[in-house]
């Protein structure tokens, strides 16, 4: 049972990373709208991985330019500190159930 769960988690992670790589390439997980920002941003990494994980690979491949453009627009239209603020309010957070059940 545990081995199957670990196998699903590993598959989920690899699949999500592949999707991010297809869309963002070398700029994956980075704040590309900030001049000189070259390091990985944890919030952006989580957002890219989770959002793209919800789509199948064919959709990602056929719409990668639209996804990239939409993400860049999102970065331009939102506050700079959006990706640096932390929260301890768990009501503002949600879980993803990779087993296909209901998310909490």
What's the predicted TM-score (pTM) here? 0.71
Q: What is the pLDDT of residue 104?
A: 45
Give the helix ranges, DSSP H, for the chain: 2-24, 42-53, 57-62, 64-77
Nearest to 85 by CA among 37, 41, 40, 48: 41
Q: Write b or e for each residue in 67-86: b if 16 or more Cβ atoms lie within 10 A of its Cβ, otherwise e.
A: bbeebeeebeeeeeeebeee
- pLDDT tens, residue by residue, 41-95: 888 889 999 999 999 999 999 999 999 999 988 888 876 666 665 555 555 555 5
**Virtual torsion, Cα 50, 54, 56, 58, nearest 10 deg:** -70
Q: What is the pLDDT of residue 83?
A: 64
């Amino acid at each position: 049972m545990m081995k199957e769960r670990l196998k699903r988690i590993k598959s989920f992670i690899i699949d999500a990373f592949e999707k991010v790589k297809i869309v963002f390439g070398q700029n994956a997980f980075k704040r590309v709208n900030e001049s000189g920002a070259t390091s990985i941003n944890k919030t952006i990494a989580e957002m890219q991985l989770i959002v793209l994980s919800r789509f199948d690979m064919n959709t990602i491949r056929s719409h990668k330019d639209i996804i990239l453009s939409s993400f860049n627009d999102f970065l331009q239209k939102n506050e700079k500190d959006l990706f640096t603020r932390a929260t301890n309010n768990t009501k503002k957070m949600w879980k993803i159930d990779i087993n296909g059940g209901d998310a909490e």
